[in-house]
Each structure stands twice: as C-alpha cells, then as structure tokens.
C-alpha cells in the first residue's frame, strides 16, 4: 500500500512487510521512507498550511465531509484493522466508530478565542493559532483510535499533518488517509511509513512545529532528544502500569466482571488497561477464583475474523515473548499461574493464552513493569495506606481505579493517587471526545481530546486593543 503526499499516492510499497498476527501470512507491503520521502511529506504539509489555516468554516465543512466518507467505509477499514492488528472484528468496528465520533465532535466545536477583559479602555482576547505542521506518530495497539485523538484536533486548529503509523499496523491508517484526501486540499494530510529511523527523521525535520507521539516511555525519551534541537512542542502519551485497588468492602460480584474486561480487552494491549489488581489478603483467594471462573467463560482466543472469537493474538512476536518471559519469571518466583479461556485452534500466530497470576510478590517484574498483554497479577495487601504510598512511588502515572461500596471513601483515596485519570468504581473505557486524556511522571505530558486537546495543537496569542489613546 502506498503513502499519500500532497494529495497523491507515492512510493513503491516495498521495504516493510505487513503480516497477519494470527496466521503470520503476508498482507501487504509498505515503504521504508528515508530522508527524501519524509522531506517531501513535510514540505507538502508546510506549503498547504497557510490556505488551510485561513478559514475556520471551510475546515469544519471539510472535516464533516471526511466523517461521511469514513462512516461509509467502516466495513473496509475494520477488516483491514483486524487483519493487521489482530483484534476481533467487533472491536475493530468499535474503533472505527469512535474515530468518526471524535472527528464529528471536533468538526462541530466552536473555540477560536476567549475574551479575557472587555473594559471601556481595553479589550484583551486570547486567540488560538495553528502550530503549523504537526508530526503524528502512532502505535500498533489502537492505530485508528489514537490517530483520531491527534489528527482531528490538529486539523480543526488549522494545522497540516504528516502521519507515521507503526510499522506493523500501517494499512488502515494509509487507507484512511487516501479516503480523506478525496475531500481535503492536497498536502493537508500526508503519510510516511517505516520504523524508528523514519520517526526520527520526522521528529527532527525543521518544518515540523509539533510532535504528538504515543508509545513506550523509552521511545518517548528518544522523541524528546530528537525534538530538542528545534525546540518542537511535544505531546507524549507513554507507558502506564495502571492499578485497580479493591477496598475491603468491594462487592466482588459487581466489581470483578468490569475489572476483568479492563484488564484483557484487546488482549491487554491497552495503555489504560488494568495491569495489576490489589485485593485485601482476606479476599484474595475468593477474588482469584472468581476471576478464573469468569475468564474461562468469556475469552475465546483465535483469529479476529472468526465468529465467536473474543480475544485475538498479541500484535507481534516481540510482545508475545515479553509477556511470556514476565509470566515465566513470576512462576519461577513461586507465583501461582492459572491459564484461562479457550484457545482451541492450530493457528501459528502470536497467541498468548490469558493468565491470572496470584500469590505473587509485589516486587516481581510482572507487577512493577508494564506487561501490555493478557497476564493479570493479583496482589494481596493488608494496609491500604502502604499500597497508596507504593503506587505513588512508582514511575508511572497514567490511570488508576479504586473500588468500594463507599464511593466517598474511594474518592478520598483516588484523589491521592498521582495519575492523569483516577476512576472510582469504573476503569478506562473508549475515549470520549470532550474529556481530556494524558499522563503524569513517566507516563508522559500534554493532553489529548476535549478543548484542552485542541489547545495543545495551537499557539496562544494575546490580542490587546486599546480603546482610548493616551499620551
């Protein structure tokens, strides 16, 4: 599949193979873009910028036309997404519908200025101007959703963009770019494909004014280094190791089904997934038994295009190996590993049978590191204050949830957790267009979605108008 630059398809479709993570079969090929290709995309975006930024009404109209095209092509895009990423087809459809919902919200948003002072002698207005060219770098777990969180705010603010999708999941993104280029002016949305070296070229390009990146914390540090010489603006959504903290009055019947879904949706490959569960020691064995029973009935692991499958493979071999090694380490340390769900197939892909891990040391890597796969450690505790202190001492700060029959008690604890999103009796769901999202500490900085997300891809300019002239 080819890239789109300045409204035209370019490249050879060679250099990187895209494979089905369930069957390991070749799907398509994409270019490994180098300096010339990245420069062409960035220059096209820069040239298109002034005209695109000129009319807010024209941008809104064009974006609504994009929404119509993408909604009409949902089946095609969902099939591509399942084949390259691995998720069940129903979840791919949810991702595509969420993309259109975010797009429509930004297209209809009115937010161009804020009056700060309106006096007889002076008018002061905060206005929002585009940054210019925004480089968008997306990961492989939610290729379309995370693109939507970045792309539509950038376009609504008057920016033009160059998108670099993950090398294992570029196809739905490239096709989306082809589709929206049917109605957008040439150069507004451009794509480049490749690995980390292509991302570095984009991040370091002198005409790019901002980079919006989602990926690992280690990769985020590399992005910061590449952006430093040109002082690019950054939004970084990085790793997370999100805890679910069950208090001693939590109703297990009500809580555990939601906790399980929060841990294993998309085979656990969710930035906001529940990655560890803390349970009072007296409740641990019952909680683990119920989680195992629930998981056995809810997860059928297989090819995402097959009816009845509720969990696909993890996206790539490196991720499969990482999850397996963390589980093996926990087992070697004496933890109890219970494999759950149905994986009755002979496909050769990157499948990981979901596991519930109990009687595990809180210092084990499966607890302290982000596994990003269907392996859920259940950690027993005796003192909730010690748990809060240990969570806040950790490096990450994306999401956390607290579960209790007493909402006020849970709120008091949740507000003390050092995270970007704190939940009470729920955990992260699909992105909501009007609610900003982002992390703290090693989970990144900046916010996406909502009005705040629009402001992150804008430059604030203050206009002061003196209504009287004095000597």
3-class DSSP string for the chain: CCEEECCEEECCCCEEEEECCCCCCEEEEEECCCHHHHHHHHHHHHHHHHHHHHCHHHHHHHHHHHHHHHHHCHHHHHHHHHHHHCCCHHHHHHHHHHHHHHHHHHHHCCCCEEEEEECCCEEEEEEEEECCEEEEECCCCCHHHHHHHHHHHHHHCCCEEEEECCCCCCHHHHHHHHHHCCCCCCCCEEECCCCHHHHHHHHHCCCEEEEEEECCHHHHHHHHHHHHHHCCEEEEECCCCEEEEECCCCCHHHHHHHHHHHHHHHHHCCCCCEEEEEEEHHHHHHHHHHHHHHHHHHCEECCCCCCCCCECCCCCHHHHHHHHHHHHHHHHCCCEEEECCECCCCCCCCCCCCEEEECCCCCCHHHHCCCCCCEEEEEEECCHHHHHHHHHHCCCCCEEEEECCCHHHHHHHHCCCCCCEEEECCCCCCCCCCCCECCCHHHEECCECHHHHHHHCEEEEEEEEECCCCC
Selected catalytic residue, list 33, 37, 271, 370:
271
- For 327-337, the pLDDT digits (tens) are 999 999 999 99
470: pLDDT strictly greater than 80: no
Region 316-324 average pLDDT:
98
pTM of model > 0.95: yes
pLDDT at 70: 98
Split at pLDDT 50, 70, 90, the class of 437 is very high
- Give me the domains of the chain, ranges plus CATH numbers: 3-238+433-464 (3.40.605.10), 242-396 (3.40.309.10)
Region 221-228 average pLDDT:
96
Confirm if 153 and 456 have CB atoms less than 8 A apart.
yes
Our answer to whether residue 33 is catalytic in this structure is no
Distances (CA, A) of 117 to 126, 345, 463, 464: 10, 66, 11, 9
- For 150-174, the pLDDT digits (tens) are 999 999 999 999 999 999 999 999 9
Percent of the chain exceeding pLDDT 90 equals: 98
pLDDT at 435: 98
Chain CA centroid to CA 27, Å: 24
Strands 133-137 and 208-214, by their bridges, are parallel
Split at pLDDT 50, 70, 90, the class of 97 is very high
Contacts for 433 with CB less than 8 Å, ≥ 6 apart: 101, 102, 105, 106, 449, 450
Q: Which two tokens stand for residue 144?
A: 């379309």
Selected catalytic residue, list 237, 370, 448, 456:
237
pLDDT at 298: 96
- For 58-73, the pLDDT digits (tens) are 999 999 999 999 999 9
pLDDT at 112: 82
pLDDT at 432: 97
Distances (CA, A) of 233 to 173, 210, 369, 438: 23, 4, 28, 16
- For 394-404, the pLDDT digits (tens) are 999 999 999 99
Our answer to whether residue 271 is catalytic in this structure is yes
- For 112-130, the pLDDT digits (tens) are 889 999 999 999 999 999 9
- For 232-271, the pLDDT digits (tens) are 999 999 999 999 999 999 999 999 999 999 999 999 999 9
C-alpha 126/C-alpha 111 separation (Å) is 11
36: pLDDT strictly greater than 90: yes
Split at pLDDT 50, 70, 90, the class of 385 is very high
Ramachandran class of 334: left when φ > 0, alpha when ψ lies in -120 to 50, beta otherwise: left
Split at pLDDT 50, 70, 90, the class of 471 is low
pLDDT at 279: 98
18: pLDDT strictly greater than 70: yes
Region 276-290 average pLDDT:
98
C-alpha 401/C-alpha 410 separation (Å) is 9
292: pLDDT strictly greater than 70: yes
């Amino acid at each position: 599949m080819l890239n789109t630059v300045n409204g035209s398809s370019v490249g050879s479709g060679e250099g990187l193979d895209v494979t089905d993570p369930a069957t390991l079969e070749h799907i398509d090929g994409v270019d490994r873009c180098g300096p010339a290709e990245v420069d062409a995309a960035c220059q096209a975006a820069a040239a298109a910028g002034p005209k695109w930024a000129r009319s807010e009404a024209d941008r809104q109209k064009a974006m609504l036309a994009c929404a119509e095209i993408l909604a009409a092509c949902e089946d095609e895009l969902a099939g591509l997404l399942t084949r390259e990423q691995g998720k069940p087809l129903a979840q791919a459809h949810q991702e595509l519908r969420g993309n259109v919902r975010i797009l429509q919200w930004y297209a209809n948003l009115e937010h161009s200025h804020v009056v700060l002072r309106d006096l007889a002698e002076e008018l002061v207005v905060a206005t929002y101007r585009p940054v210019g060219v925004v480089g968008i770098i997306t990961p492989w777990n939610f290729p379309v959703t995370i693109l939507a969180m970045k792309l539509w705010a950038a376009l609504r603010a008057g920016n033009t963009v160059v998108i670099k999708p993950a090398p294992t999941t570029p196809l739905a993104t490239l096709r989306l770019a082809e589709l929206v280029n049917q109605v957008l002016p040439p150069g507004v949305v451009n794509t480049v494909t490749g690995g980390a070296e292509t991302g570095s070229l984009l991040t370091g390009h002198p005409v790019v004014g901002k980079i919006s990146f989602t990926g690992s914390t280690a990769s985020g540090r590399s992005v910061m280094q590449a952006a430093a010489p040109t002082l690019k603006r950054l939004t970084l959504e990085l790793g997370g190791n999100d805890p679910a903290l069950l208090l001693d009055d939590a109703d297990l019947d009500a809580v555990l089904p939601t906790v399980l879904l929060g841990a294993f949706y998309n085979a656990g490959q969710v930035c906001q997934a529940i990655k560890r569960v803390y349970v009072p020691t007296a409740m641990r064995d019952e909680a683990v038994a119920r989680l195992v029973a629930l998981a056995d009935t809810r997860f059928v692991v297989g090819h995402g295009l097959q009816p009845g499958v509720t969990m696909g493979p993890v996206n790539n071999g490196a991720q499969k190996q990482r999850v397996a090694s963390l589980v093996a380490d926990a087992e070697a340390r004496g933890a109890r590993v219970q494999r759950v769900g149905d994986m009755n197939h002979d496909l050769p892909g990157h499948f990981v049978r979901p596991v519930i891990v109990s009687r595990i040391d809180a210092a084990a890597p499966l607890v302290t590191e982000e596994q990003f796969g269907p392996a859920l450690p259940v950690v027993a505790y005796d003192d909730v204050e010690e748990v809060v202190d240990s969570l806040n001492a950790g490096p990450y700060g994306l999401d956390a949830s607290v579960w209790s029959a007493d909402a006020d008690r849970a709120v008091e604890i949740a507000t003390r957790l050092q995270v970007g999103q704190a939940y009470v009796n729920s955990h992260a769901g699909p992105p909501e267009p009007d609610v900003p999202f982002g992390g703290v500490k090693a989970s990144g900085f900046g916010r996406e979605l909502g009005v705040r997300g629009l402001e992150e891809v804008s430059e604030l300019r203050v206009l002061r108008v003196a209504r009287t002239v004095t000597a």
